[in-house]
Every structure is written in structure tokens, then in C-alpha cells.
């Protein structure tokens, strides 16, 4: 428990850094911009179609514009998320006295490819392909069980057994996916710190984390609990307001047949928008802490420490040995 508590404490302490606060503020500002664009799309294109009598052509046009605008906003959010993740890891490495490769266009594109490669290596278990047979067997047995069960009669029992075995193997492979995720957790800081390639970074993380998965998993679970409680506190006002509005709409529907619901939709959405800024402000802090924690584990394990205990070395007085020579 000492490893987890020390690394997490160090992660939260890293929020005092000025550079960390600047990155968090940047993340929050862009989040507000993205949320404003999403809100604007709903207000200008979705609500007019929903609240007014519109023709099918107008409805299709509104839906098409909404889909294109939403796709553009989502793409921008994704591309910014990749960039801010790189900057977060760069700061986390600097806070540990480590250097980082500056972010440029080439490094940015490679970092995107690294993220895609991480998903493929985790899902397909490419560093230990024999475990992929579990997934293949699970899929075959599952669909075979579904087909046989549909036949009916006594043979459906065999189909049910195959279905159950397939589901069990599927759950086993989920455990493999979690294990793969832990083994490749350090590929981000390795890539940001060094000039290694994508596969080299993944392989370095895989080799470095061998024998440390449970320790890392326990740390992330503890961090997840703490972050979850903090985020839940931040989102309580939003949940309370939405439940209050749903209850008011329900009562309005009972009393007056639902009249007045459309008129309050914009005010409700605007209030939801402002209340959603509270968890949106908290989220960058939690992401920065998780980045600092991952980098902290990477720093400890890469240096060969088997724990996070701080060893205090005290100076000992060393008495020089005297050489006694026999007098002639």
C-alpha cells in the first residue's frame, strides 16, 4: 500500500506547479469552447426542428447539418485531446527531472499512431498472440451455441452449454485485456521522453512492467476511487437540477397534459450548460493527477526501485583503519 499511497500523494502534490495549472486552465478553456459549440448546435439546429412544425425537408436538413457540425466538433475535441495528453506527459516527466521530446507535427502524428497501436496491441494481445486463441474460441463457441440453441429440442441443451462456455472464455479474455493494458501503460511516457519508435515504445513498456502489474493495478484502482468521489461531488448540482426538472416535467404532464414543456427547454438546457462547467473544471485536474501518477510509477519502476518507500541514508562516521607497523 505504501507504493500506491506515495505515488498518488505525489500526483496530487504536483498540482501546485504553475506549469501544471496553466495546462489545466488551457484544457478547461478549450472544453468550454467545445461545450459552447455543442450547445449552439443544439440550440440553432435541433430545438427549432423539435419545437416548431417543420417539413420533412427542413427536418432532414437540420439533422444533416447537426451531424456534420457534431462530427467536426468531435474531431476537434479528439485531436486536441491527443495534443494536451502529450503536453501533460511532458510536464509530468519534467517534474521528475526527466527530459521530453518537444511536440512538433511529426511527433504529434506519431503520437496519434501510437494511441491507435496501443488499442490494437491491447485488444488483439499482439505481444502474446497465443492468448488471442481464447478470443477466437469464445466467438466461435458463442455463435455456434446461438445457432444450435435456435434449432430447439434436446440439441438446444448442447447449444446452451457452448453459449455458456463462450461467455466464460469471453470474460477470461477481458482479464487478458486488463493485463495487456497494464503492461503497455508506460508506452506514453516512454514515447514522450525518448525518440523511440512506436513499436519500440510499446515493447519497452511491455518489458519494463513485467512483474509489476498487480502493484500498478492496485494504484490505479485507489486513484480511481479517489477521483470518482471528487468527480461525483462536482457533478451533484447537475444531477440534482436534472432530476428536479424531470420531476417538474412529469408533474406538468399529469396536471396539464404536458403543456409548457417545450417553452422551458432552452432555459433548462442553458442551466444544464452552466452547471456542467463545474465537473468540466474538475476533470482537467483529475486527468493531470492521473498523468502524474502514471509517470511517477514509470519513474520508480524504470529506476529499478521495488517500492515507493523513501530510504533515508544517514551519514556514518567511518574511522580510518590504522596500520600498525612493527618496530624493528
Residue 207 in contact with residue 298, Cβ under 8 Å? no
Q: Where are the domains of the chain?
A: 2-302
∠ CA(271), CA(65), CA(115), 5° rounding? 80
Please tell me the predicted confidence (pLDDT) of residue 308: 39
How confident is the model at residue 38, as a pLDDT?
80
Among residues 278, 176, 291, which one has the least CA distance to residue 230? 278
Cell of 42: 443544439
Neighbours of 121 (CB within 10 A): 22
Q: Quote the Cα angle for 192-100-205, to 5°.
A: 35
Whether residue 293 contacts residue 11, with contact meaning beta carbons closer than 8 Å, is answered with yes
Cell numbers representing residue 303 in the block: 529506476
DSSP assignment of 121-135 equals HHHHTTTSGGGHHHH
Model pLDDT, residue 252: 67
CB atoms closer than 10 angstroms to residue 123: 15
CA distance 123 to 136: 12
* C-beta separation of 273 from 35 below 8 A: yes
SS (H, E, C) 274-314: HHHHHHHHHHHHHHHHHHHHHHHHHHHHHCCCCCCCCCCCC
- Please tell me the pTM assigned to this model: 0.81
pLDDT for the residue numbered 39: 78
Q: Taking the CB of residue 227, how many other CB atoms lie within 10 A of it? A: 20
Give, for all 328 residues of the chain, the pLDDT tens digit: 578 888 998 889 888 889 999 999 999 999 999 888 887 777 776 666 665 566 666 667 777 877 888 888 889 999 999 999 999 999 999 999 999 999 999 999 999 999 999 999 999 999 999 999 999 999 999 999 888 888 777 788 888 899 999 999 999 999 999 999 999 999 999 999 988 899 999 999 999 999 999 999 999 999 999 999 999 999 999 898 888 877 777 776 665 554 444 434 544 467 888 888 999 999 999 999 999 999 999 999 998 744 434 333 333 444 444 444 444 4
Cα within 13 Å of Cα(20), Cβ side: 21
Per-residue exposure over 305-325, b if at least 16 CB sit within 10 Å of its own CB, e if not: eeebeeeeeeeeeeeeeeeee
- Residues 86-106 have pLDDT tens digits of 999 999 999 999 999 999 999
Amino acid at each position: 500500500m505504501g507504493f500506491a499511497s506515495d505515488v498518488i500523494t505525489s500526483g496530487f502534490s504536483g498540482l501546485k506547479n504553475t506549469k501544471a495549472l496553466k495546462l489545466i486552465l488551457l484544457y478547461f478553456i478549450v472544453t468550454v469552447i467545445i461545450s459552447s459549440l455543442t450547445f449552439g448546435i443544439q440550440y440553432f439546429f435541433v430545438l427549432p426542428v423539435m419545437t416548431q412544425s417543420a417539413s420533412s425537408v427542413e427536418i432532414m436538413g437540420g439533422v444533416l447539418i447537426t451531424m456534420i457540425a457534431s462530427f467536426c466538433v468531435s474531431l476537434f475535441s479528439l485531436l486536441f485531446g491527443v495534443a494536451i495528453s502529450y503536453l501533460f506527459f511532458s510536464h509530468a516527466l519534467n517534474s521528475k527531472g526527466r527530459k521530453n521530446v518537444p511536440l512538433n507535427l511529426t511527433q504529434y502524428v506519431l503520437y496519434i499512431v501510437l494511441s491507435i497501436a496501443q488499442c490494437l496491441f491491447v485488444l488483439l494481445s499482439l505481444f502474446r498472440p497465443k492468448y488471442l486463441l481464447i478470443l477466437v474460441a469464445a466467438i466461435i463457441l458463442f455463435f455456434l451455441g446461438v445457432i444450435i440453441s435456435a434449432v430447439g429440442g434436446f440439441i438446444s441443451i448442447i447449444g446452451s452449454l457452448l453459449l455458456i462456455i463462450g461467455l466464460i472464455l469471453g470474460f477470461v479474455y477481458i482479464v487478458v485485456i486488463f493485463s495487456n493494458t497494464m503492461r503497455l501503460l508506460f508506452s506514453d511516457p516512454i514515447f514522450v521522453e525518448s525518440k523511440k519508435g512506436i513499436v519500440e515504445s510499446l515493447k519497452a513498456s511491455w518489458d519494463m512492467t513485467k512483474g509489476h502489474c498487480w502493484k500498478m493495478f492496485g494504484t490505479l484502482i485507489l486513484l480511481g476511487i479517489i477521483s470518482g468521489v471528487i468527480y461525483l461531488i462536482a457533478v451533484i448540482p447537475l444531477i440534482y437540477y436534472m432530476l428536479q426538472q424531470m420531476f417538474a416535467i412529469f408533474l406538468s404532464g399529469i396536471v396539464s397534459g404536458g403543456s409548457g414543456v417545450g417553452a422551458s427547454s432552452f432555459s433548462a438546457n442553458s442551466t444544464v450548460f452552466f452547471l456542467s462547467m463545474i465537473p468540466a473544471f474538475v476533470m482537467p485536474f483529475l486527468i493531470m493527477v492521473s498523468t502524474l501518477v502514471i509517470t511517477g510509477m514509470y519513474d520508480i519502476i524504470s529506476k529499478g526501485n521495488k517500492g515507493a518507500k523513501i530510504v533515508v541514508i544517514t551519514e556514518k562516521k567511518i574511522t580510518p583503519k590504522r596500520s600498525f607497523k612493527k618496530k624493528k
